Chain A
Amino acid sequence: MTTEHNARVLDAKIPDGPIQEKWDKYRFDTKLVNPSNRRKYDIIVVGTGLAGAGAAATLGEQGYNVKAFTYNDSSRRAHSIGAQGGINAAKNYPNDNDSIFRLFYDTVKGGDYRSREANVYRLAQVSNEIIDQTVAQGAPYAREYGGLLDNRSFGGAQVSRTFYARGQTGQQLLLTAYQALARQVAAGTVELFTRTEMLDVVVKDGRAVGIVTRDLITGEIGSHSAHAVVLATGGYSNVYFLSTNAMNCNGTAIWRAYRKGALFASPSFTQIHPTCIPVGDEFQSKLVLMSESLRNDGRIWVPKEAGDDRPPNDIPEEGRDYYLERMYPAFGNLVPRDVASRAAMRMVQSGHGVGPLKNGVYLDFADAIGRLGRKTIEDRYGNLFEMYERITDENPYEVPMRIYPAPHYTMGGLWVDYNLETTIPGLFAAGEANFSDHGANRLGASALMQGLADGYFVLPATISSYLANWLNVPPVPTDDPEFVEAEQELKDRIDKFLSINGTHTVDYFHRKLGKVMIDECGMSRSREGLEKALEQIAEIKRDFWSDLRVLGTAESLNQSLERAGRVADFLELGELMVRDALDREESCGGHFRVEHVTDEGEAKRDDENFAFVSAWEWTGEDSPPIRHKEPLEFEYVPLSQRSYK
C-alpha cells in the first residue's frame, strides 16, 4: 500500500555533539532576531492551551507581534485545564537518585523506543525550568510543612518526580499561562481572538503565510497573515467519540495542515488510559479519567474466578487476583499505561470484569485507608473520590472504584524536526499537536511538561532560525489569491454541509466512527480487523456526505455546523490511523498488533525493520498517502525489550 519508491528519508536537523550539549550548542549556533527587529514580525499562534498560551505569551514578552486564536470563549478554558495528576521534572528534590538523564531514559524507554533521543533529552533538561517558572508565576503547588515543594510518583518511574496542585495541576498550570498571556494582551503585544476557529492554513510558494478562520458567533470567514504560523491545537483522541478529552477537542487544525503538505507522524500511536470510569450507557457523551496518581495508593484487582458476582467487599483476599502485582512485581500497580490498559482488557475479555456491565476492574483503597487513615487519603484524592461518587453514585471510601481504559492522549501528530518546524517551512507545531517526544506511549505527567517545554522554552528559542530569513519582508497581504481561494473553498464546504439535508445528526456519524476506531484501532489491533475498518470507515464517510443533516445557517452560532467540519476531518484522520496501524507490522507501546507478541503476551517490537517514525504525506482525495521515514538511532538508551517485572 505504500509507494516505497516515492518515500523520502527525513532529516530531523539534530545538532551534532554529545546529547548533553546539543541544546546549548543549538542555542549558540542558531540565527537570532535582535530585540529591536522583533516588532517587525507577525506570528500567528493557533491554540491557547499550555503550549499555545505559553508560546504566545513568551513570544509577546520577547517583543514579537502575536495573534492568538482559540475556539473557546476564553483562553482559560483550553483542554489542558482538565489535567489532574501532575507534571514531571528532574529536580531530584526527594533525593531518590533522579537526574535529567534518568528522566530522559525513562521517557525513551516508556515510549518503547519510538521517539527521538535528542528531543527527549532537551525536554528533560528544560523540565526543571518549568517548575521554577510556574512557581514564580504563582502556581500553588502542594507543599511540605517546611514550605518546600512536595512530590509524588507516577507510572513508569521508580522515583518521585511529579509536582502537583491537588488534583488540579492542569488547571493551575493553564491559569499561569493564561495569566501570562493576559499580561501580554494588556501590554498590546498579543491580539487574542476567542470563539474563532482556524479552518485552513494558507501556503504560498511552499511556505506557511497565514490562516483562514471562522468567527463562531457571526459566522464570518476571515484571513490572517503572518511571517510564521504555530499550531498548538492539542490532540485528536475524540476520533474515538468517547474519550477523556473535552467535548470540543478535534483534529481539524492539524488535518488541514496535513492536506496542505505537512507530514503526519505516527497517527496510530494513541494512548488508552487505564484508569477511567467504565462506560455506563448508550447516551454517554464522554469518559471521565480518574487520575493515574490513584495507582500510588490504590490496588487493582479482579475476582479470581470468572463471573464471580459477589459484591467486592464480600470477596475474601484469597478470591482476589491483584494481577498487576502478580505479573509485574517490580513496578506493580505503577506499570506504564499501555501495559496496565492491556492487562485490564485481558481481564475483562476473560470474563473477570466487574460492575453491572462487567466492563471494569477494581481499584481498591481499603489497604491504603487502613495504613494511612481516611484523612490522608482524603487529602490526597478527595476531589477525585467526590467526582467518582457524583458520577457513579458509589462511595469509593467504602466500595472499590470500578475503572476501565479509555482513549486519552495521542502521541501521533504533525511531524516536526528539532526546531518544532513541520515539513511546510514557517509552520510550527507544539504540544500534543506534534508527534512529540513520547514515542509509542506517553508516561504520566509528561504531557504538561512537554506542553510548557514547547511553549515557554523550545519554540521561542527555535522560531528565530526561520524568522531571521524574512527580515523586512512584509507578510503576504490577505487579498492575495491564495487567501481568496482558501476562503472560497471553506465557504463551499460550509454550504455543502448545510445543503445535504439528509436524515442523521453529526453525532450519529461520529458515534459510528468511534465504534469502529475503538474496536479495530484501539487497545489491540489485527490485520483482519484493520482491513475491515478501512471498508467500514469508507462506508460511514459515504453516508456522512449524503445523509447528514445540519440545520440553521452559516451566519450565526451553529454548533452542529462546527461539529460537522470536525467529524468530516475525523473520518479522514481515522482512515489514516488505520493505514498506519496496518503498515506497522510490529507491536510497540500503545500500538499492539495481535500478530506480534512475545511469549508472555507483551508487545513485541521489530527494531530491525521498524525503528523509525512513520510520516505520512497527503497525495490527494483519491490516491493513497505516501509513508516517509525518519530513522531513529539509540545512542544513549540501548534498545532492549521493556520489562517491568
Chain B
Amino acid sequence: MDVTLRVWRQPDSASEGGFATYEAKGVSEDASFFEMLDMVNERLNDSGEEPIAFDSDCREGICGTCGVMIDGHPHGPQRGTATCQLHMRKFKDGDTIVIEPWRAEAFRVVRDLVVDRSPFDKIIQAGGYISVNVGAAQDANETLIPRPAAEASMDAAACIGCAACVAACPNGAANLFTAAKIAHLGLLPQGQPERYLRTVAMVETMEDYFGSCRNYGECETACPKSISIDVIAWMNRDYVAAQWKNFRKQGQQV
C-alpha cells in the first residue's frame, strides 16, 4: 500500500517545528507502524535527509517508550493499543496520516516526535513505592491477599507510563497515571501503612506539573492498557480522606 505522511519535524526544544510531507510507497499491510517509519527513515537517510527521531524500545506495548499522535489520536486509531503494536492493515491505501509528538504543557519536545516525560518519574519519586528495605521482608505467603484485590491491583499496575493519558486530556492532566499507581499500591495490604501519606505526596507533586482533571474521560479511551478511570475516583476519595488527620496518623482506614 501507499500512504502519505505529514510528520512533525523540530530540530530541538529551542527551535520552531513544522510539518513535512513524505510519501511512503510499497508498504506491506503486515508491517507495523514503526516498521513503516523505519523504512521511510532508511529512504530519507539514503537521500541525504536526516531521519525522523521517534522513541521506541520493546515494540510489544509494554515498556511505554513509544507514543505519537496519529491523526489526532494518542497511539492512533486502535483501542487498547500502543503505537508500536499498531499495524498498517489498520490503514487504507492512499491514506494521509498525520503524525505528531505528545502535546502537553508538562512535556517538552526534545526533537521531532520525541518528548521529555520526566515529570512522571517525579510523581513516583514523591511516594509511588512501598518503603521496605531489601532483606526486611517476611515470608511471602504470610500476607494473604484476596484474589479479587490482587486482580484489581494488577489491573492498575498494568500502566506502562507512556503518557497517552496526558496527551489525550484537554487539560494535560496526569490523573489516570497517578491514580493507577495509587490504586496499585493502595489495594494491597502491604500498601496500607503509607496509603494516605503516599496519596497526598503524589497528588501534590502531580499538581506541580500537570493540569487539573475535569472528568472528560479521554484518558481512559487513549490508554493502551485500557485502565479504568475508576482509579481516579479511588484516588480522589483517598485524597479527601487523607485530609482528616486521624487517617494519616493511623496510616490506614479501619
Contact partner, B64, options A77, A182, A393, A559, Cβ 8 Å: A77
A140 B157 Cβ-Cβ under 8 A: yes
Q: What string of 1s and 0s marks CB contacts (under 8 Å) between A132-145 and chain B?
A: 11011110111111
B134 A138 Cβ-Cβ under 8 A: no
A285 B32 Cβ-Cβ under 8 A: yes
Give residues of chain A (480-533) contacting chain B, Cβ–Cβ below 8 Å: 503, 505, 507-508
B157 to chain A, nearest CB (A): 5
**Given A82-B63, A147-B147, A552-B50: A283 touches B128 (CB 8 Å cut-off):** no
A132 B140 Cβ-Cβ under 8 A: yes
Contact partner, B65, options A72, A391, A556, Cβ 8 Å: A72
A73 B117 Cβ-Cβ under 8 A: yes
Give every chain B residue within 8 A of A549 (Cβ-Cβ).
45-46
B134 A57 Cβ-Cβ under 8 A: yes
B59 A185 Cβ-Cβ under 8 A: no
**B31, B45, B58, B81 interface centre (most CB from chain A within 10 Å):** B58
Give every chain A residue within 8 A of B141 (Cβ-Cβ).
91, 93, 148-149
- Asked if A146 is at the interface (CB within 8 A of a chain B CB), the reply is yes
B48 to chain A, nearest CB (A): 7
Bound together, the chains give a CA A168 to CA B38 distance in angstroms of 27
B101 to chain A, nearest CB (A): 12
B46 A505 Cβ-Cβ under 8 A: yes
Give every chain B residue within 8 A of A503 (Cβ-Cβ).
46
**B135, B188, B190 interface centre (most CB from chain A within 10 Å):** B135
Q: What string of 1s and 0s marks CB contacts (under 8 Å) between B157-171 and chain A?
A: 110110000000000
Give every chain B residue within 8 A of A57 (Cβ-Cβ).
134
- Asked if B5 is at the interface (CB within 8 A of a chain A CB), the reply is no
A318 to chain B, nearest CB (A): 33
A283 B28 Cβ-Cβ under 8 A: yes
A625 to chain B, nearest CB (A): 31
A182 B121 Cβ-Cβ under 8 A: yes
B66 to chain A, nearest CB (A): 10
A639 to chain B, nearest CB (A): 35
Contact partner, B62, options A73, A93, A140, A168, Cβ 8 Å: A168
A68 to chain B, nearest CB (A): 12
A283 B35 Cβ-Cβ under 8 A: yes
**A146, A148, A175 interface centre (most CB from chain B within 10 Å):** A175
Give every chain A residue within 8 A of B30 (Cβ-Cβ).
280-281, 393
- Asked if B145 is at the interface (CB within 8 A of a chain A CB), the reply is yes
- Asked if B70 is at the interface (CB within 8 A of a chain A CB), the reply is no
A285 B144 Cβ-Cβ under 8 A: no
Give residues of chain B (12-43) contacting chain A, Cβ–Cβ below 8 Å: 12, 28, 30-32, 34-35, 38-39, 41-42
Bound together, the chains give a CA A137 to CA B135 distance in angstroms of 11
- Asked if B234 is at the interface (CB within 8 A of a chain A CB), the reply is no
Give every chain B residue within 8 A of A61 (Cβ-Cβ).
133-134
B129 A147 Cβ-Cβ under 8 A: no
- Asked if A171 is at the interface (CB within 8 A of a chain B CB), the reply is yes
Closest chain B residue, CB of each to CB of A506: B45
Give every chain B residue within 8 A of A170 (Cβ-Cβ).
62
Closest chain A residue, CB of each to CB of B55: A73
Closest chain A residue, CB of each to CB of B132: A136
How extensive is the interface on chain A, given as a class? 35 or more
**A75, A140, A146, A248 interface centre (most CB from chain B within 10 Å):** A140
- Asked if B9 is at the interface (CB within 8 A of a chain A CB), the reply is no
B202 to chain A, nearest CB (A): 11
Give every chain B residue within 8 A of A368 (Cβ-Cβ).
none
Bound together, the chains give a CA A186 to CA B65 distance in angstroms of 23
Give every chain B residue within 8 A of A281 (Cβ-Cβ).
28, 30-31
A138 B190 Cβ-Cβ under 8 A: yes
**Given A73-B118, A76-B161, A551-B49: A165 touches B62 (CB 8 Å cut-off):** no
Q: What string of 1s and 0s marks CB contacts (under 8 Å) between B46-81 and chain A?
A: 101111010111111111110000000000000001
Bound together, the chains give a CA A183 to CA B197 distance in angstroms of 14
- Asked if B191 is at the interface (CB within 8 A of a chain A CB), the reply is yes
Give every chain B residue within 8 A of A390 (Cβ-Cβ).
81, 85, 87
B11 A285 Cβ-Cβ under 8 A: no
A217 B35 Cβ-Cβ under 8 A: no
Bound together, the chains give a CA A147 to CA B28 distance in angstroms of 48
Bound together, the chains give a CA A23 to CA B139 distance in angstroms of 20
Bound together, the chains give a CA A281 to CA B133 distance in angstroms of 48
Bound together, the chains give a CA A281 to CA B28 distance in angstroms of 8
- Asked if A194 is at the interface (CB within 8 A of a chain B CB), the reply is yes
Give every chain B residue within 8 A of A74 (Cβ-Cβ).
64, 117-118, 120-121, 161
**Given A81-B58, A137-B132: A146 touches B63 (CB 8 Å cut-off):** no
A556 B12 Cβ-Cβ under 8 A: yes
Give every chain B residue within 8 A of A58 (Cβ-Cβ).
133-134
A122 to chain B, nearest CB (A): 15
Give residues of chain A (28-80) contacting chain B, Cβ–Cβ below 8 Å: 54, 57-58, 61, 72-77, 79
Q: What string of 1s and 0s marks CB contacts (under 8 Å) between A75-107 and chain B?
A: 111010110000000010100000000000000
B29 to chain A, nearest CB (A): 9
Contact partner, B137, options A81, A129, A149, A285, Cβ 8 Å: A129
Give every chain B residue within 8 A of A54 (Cβ-Cβ).
134
Give every chain B residue within 8 A of A93 (Cβ-Cβ).
141
Give every chain A residue within 8 A of B39 (Cβ-Cβ).
283
- Of all A-B residue pairs in the complex, the 8 with the closest CB atoms, nearest first, are A147-B144, A179-B129, A136-B137, A132-B137, A140-B154, A135-B140, A140-B153, A246-B57
Q: List 18 A-B contacts (CB under 8 A).
A: A79-B58, A129-B137, A133-B134, A137-B129, A138-B188, A140-B151, A147-B145, A148-B141, A149-B141, A171-B62, A194-B121, A217-B110, A281-B28, A281-B30, A283-B31, A460-B134, A507-B38, A551-B48
Chain B residues within CB distance 8 Å of chain A: 11-12, 28, 30-32, 34-35, 38-39, 41-42, 45-46, 48-51, 53, 55-65, 81, 85, 87, 89, 110-111, 114, 116-118, 120-121, 124-126, 128-141, 143-147, 150-151, 153-154, 157-158, 160-161, 184-185, 188, 190-191
Contacts A58-B134, A135-B137, A505-B42 supplied; 9 other A-B pairs, CB < 8 Å: A136-B140, A140-B184, A140-B188, A179-B130, A180-B129, A280-B28, A391-B32, A456-B134, A560-B45
